[in-house]
Chain A
């Protein structure tokens, strides 16, 4: 069964450093997303991406964040100058279209120290 894969599973970084979280969405999906889940809290939408551009972003997704689909398979989330409060589980997801179910990856646990 096709699945969304994310790497790395765990990333520890120093405050102020840049991190890139990587995702390989399901191959025939057209919509891509990033969500985050701070420990013990609910899952929060960050950004949706379609047709090689951002289609919607949340208030959380400020200039510190960027997304890219550098080739036909990868979808990345870059966080510049990480802060302690960026520590969270980051989930990538993809869906065939905007109203079908999204499939989520296993997540990348980001720890900023």
Chain B
């Protein structure tokens, strides 16, 4: 079965410190991996994706993610957190089916304190 796990419900970090939001996946075939962010009462905003190529992917707002095939992980990172990064973050995987469907993790709330 295809699945995505985000092991932490919440991550707390001080402003200016590096942040990591964890994601692991289980999917047959080559995965298509995505990170989305959701601000309160808003839709999902695309941050970055891994399709193929370099394992370190750079995205919007200074975020990056590292694809690790052996650990089946795709952790989201940022070198220096901002208070405005506080939001709900979703990891998603697109299985190698033909439909474009995404399977989402349960989400991780990132709280950046000043």
Q: Which residues from chain A sit less than 8 Å from chain B, CB to CB? A: 4, 31, 33, 35, 41-45, 48, 50, 55-56, 91, 93, 95, 97-107
Can you show 10 pairs from A to B with CB atoms below 8 A apart?
Answer: A33-B101, A41-B106, A43-B90, A45-B103, A55-B98, A56-B99, A99-B51, A104-B36, A104-B45, A106-B42
Instruction: Give the complex CA separation of A97 and B49 in angstroms.
Output: 14
Our pick among A35, A42, A55, A104 for the contact of B99 (Cβ within 8 Å) is: A55
Contact A44 B101 (CB under 8 A): no
Report chain A residues within 8 Å CB of B45: 104
Instruction: Knowing A55-B99, A98-B99, A99-B94, say if A104 contacts B104 (CB, 8 Å).
Output: no
Q: Which residues from chain B sit less than 8 Å from chain A, CB to CB? A: 32, 34, 36, 42-46, 49, 51, 90, 92, 94, 97-107
Which of A55, A97, A98 counts the most B-chain CB atoms under 10 A from its CB?
Answer: A98
Chain A contact surface mostly? strand
Contact A101 B99 (CB under 8 A): no
Instruction: Give the complex CA separation of A35 and B104 in angstroms.
Output: 10
Instruction: Give the complex CA separation of A50 and B58 in angstroms.
Output: 29
Instruction: Knowing A43-B90, A48-B99, A56-B99, say if A99 contacts B32 (CB, 8 Å).
Output: yes
Least CB distance, A90 to chain B, in whole angstroms: 11
Report chain B residues within 8 Å CB of A43: 44, 90, 92, 102, 104, 107
Instruction: Knowing A43-B90, A99-B32, say if A107 contacts B101 (CB, 8 Å).
Output: no
